[in-house]
Amino acid sequence: MTRTLRIDSVVTRGGDAGQTSLGDGTRQPKDSLRVEAYGTVDEANACLGVLRASLGTSSGQHGHPQDAVLARIQSLLFDVGADLCVPGPMGATLRLDDRPVALIEAQITALLEHQSPLDSFVLPAGSLAAAQAHVARTVMRRAERRVVSLAAAEDVNGAVIRLLNRLSDYLFVLARHLNDNGRADVLWQRGAASDA
């Protein structure tokens, strides 16, 4: 059975004093470690939305095969946000397990089959979609760091950290895929600044 969500009001004024409610009803400052963690996950999700929009413009086609994967990841990141937003026993039913990690690893393996091994660092550049995948990758890494900071202070589901780590790996491999499987990657040139 699918549960429907109804949002009657977007403007609540509840956060005007710099606090917000967690999923269990407790109030926390908007800059707390927990709010910063799930807020950065939300930011990473928004980056994926821009990446999905760029898939059509970069190749002149719609329905890119990775779009469905990215759509699934966007929904998954809402699950991550729910896991982080409801601390303690009340959120037990929201906890992720490692099944999504295995799914992302399978996507990475499938993409890597078409890519040659790297022998240099890759710059975040190339096609529009590849560059956007790199932006999403770096924001996903920041989300991971924020969750690790939270885990040092409070209980956090370890599957969330593993998933965010794998998602940033996936986005790196996806960026190479979007650069003609690495053939159009822009590679780091050591000492390039001194040659100018």
Q: Classify residue 17: in a domain, yes or no.
A: no
Q: Classify residue 76: in a domain, yes or no.
A: yes
Region 85-97 average pLDDT: 81
CATH number for 88: 1.20.1200.10
Is 155:87 a contact under the CB 8 Å cutoff?
yes
pLDDT at 49: 96
Q: Classify residue 21: in a domain, yes or no.
A: no
pLDDT at 134: 97
**54: closest CA among 113, 105, 107, 126?**
126
Give the span between the Cα atoms of 153 and 80, in whole angstroms.
18
Q: Classify residue 100: in a domain, yes or no.
A: yes
Q: For residue 63, is pLDDT > 60?
A: yes
Q: Classify residue 121: in a domain, yes or no.
A: yes
Task: Specify the number of domains making up the chain.
Answer: 1
Q: Classify residue 195: in a domain, yes or no.
A: no
Q: Mean pLDDT, the chain, as a whole number? A: 87
Task: Give the three-class secondary structure for 17.
Answer: coil
Q: For residue 58, is pLDDT > 60?
A: no
pLDDT at 88: 76
Q: Classify residue 42: in a domain, yes or no.
A: yes
Say what the pTM is.
0.85
pLDDT band at 94, cuts 50/70/90? confident
What is the percentage of the chain residues whose pLDDT exceeds 70?
A: 82
Residue 115, token pair as written in the block: 């890519």
Q: For residue 141, is pLDDT > 60?
A: yes
Q: Classify residue 82: in a domain, yes or no.
A: yes
Predicted confidence (pLDDT) per residue in 118-131, tens digit:
888 999 999 999 99
Task: Give the three-class secondary structure for 123.
Answer: strand
Largest Cα–Cα separation, the chain: 63
Range of the domain at 123: 29-185
First-to-last C-alpha distance (Å) of the chain: 63
